Amino acid sequence: MDKQGLLAAARKTFLAQGYKNTNVSQITKAAGIATGSFYKYFNSKKEIFLAVYVAENNLMRQKLMEKLTAQVDLIEGVDYLLDFIFRQVKGNNILLEWYKPELGTLLHEYYAREDAVYPFGDYLQRWLQQKTALLRLTAEQQNKLQKLMLFVSYLDTVFDSRGFMEQTEMLRALVKEYLKAVIGKQN
């Protein structure tokens, strides 16, 4: 068993049971190795979870980037983005940990680091710039759009798992209506 095999076993276990209900011996059992062998690769359950989370998040974002490219309209594209992320996270015990107190802070800090590589954020900025350029938005409209993105990012860091599960549809509807108002588009 190598590190990648151990990560695959951890991913499978975390997906099935979530972080809180998983322990190192369950991961090593799924990997077919002795518990002591785990520590050749990782210092703790939290460390392996972070590695699994980053890979899982990158995979989801990569899928989203592939699908979002085909979206032509700004409003429908943003709505698609929110719907895709919300559906993916709600159905994934690994990604849902972002909204839970035990690991949420660690994950938020990891992605807030200055040296964090976050290709999706760069991609999303370019995508939004292309869409706003096509719409020829005024400086005021662009400013409102930027404030909306900051607001959504802020909510993403303060929602807990219950708030996330209960409020995502409302957030999606509010964002869509706000975008319509900003760019002056009617139903």
- Ordered by start, the domain boundaries in the chain are 1-43, 52-183
From CA 130, how far away is CA 74, in angstroms rounded? 9
CATH fold of the domain at 1-43:
Arc Repressor Mutant, subunit A (1.10.10)
Residue with tokens 């490219």: 69
Predicted confidence (pLDDT) per residue in 129-139, tens digit: 888 888 888 99
- Average of per-residue pLDDT values in the chain: 90
**Orientation angle between helical segments 101-112 and 45-68, nearest 10 degrees:** 60
From CA 19, how far away is CA 93, in angstroms rounded? 8
- Considering only CA atoms, which of 123, 122, 182 is closest in space to residue 148? 182
Q: Residue 20: which pLDDT band, with cuts at 50, 70 and 90?
A: very high
- Residue 4: Cβ within 10 Å count: 9
Q: Residue 140: which pLDDT band, with cuts at 50, 70 and 90?
A: very high
Q: What is the mean pLDDT of residues 96-109?
A: 91
Tell me the residue length of the chain: 187
